[in-house]
Amino acid sequence: MSKSGPLLRLEGIVKRFGAVIALNNVDFHVNYGEVVGLVGDNGAGKSTLAKIIVGYYKPDKGRIIFEGR
């Protein structure tokens, strides 16, 4: 994998908890060597997004690509 492309890419991530839409069509990428932070209001979905990235939750829709896979 080329270190010039994204290390992590999330495409069209959707996560629902019952009738509550926690994440709706989220796209996010991190390139090699970048340091990023998630910032937002309470209830904005920061923790849900982080838990999807580490595999604690599965997204209802969308895909996660790590190092091209």
CB 53 within 8 A of CB 8: yes
Per-residue pLDDT tens listing for the chain (69 residues):
557 779 999 999 999 999 999 999 999 999 999 999 999 999 999 999 999 999 999 999 999 999 988
Give the per-residue pLDDT at 13. 99
Determine how many CB atoms are found less than 10 A away from the CB of residue 10: 21
CB 64 within 8 A of CB 10: yes
Give the per-residue pLDDT at 69. 85
Q: Token pair for residue 42?
A: 């309470």
Give the per-residue pLDDT at 1. 53
Give the per-residue pLDDT at 44. 95
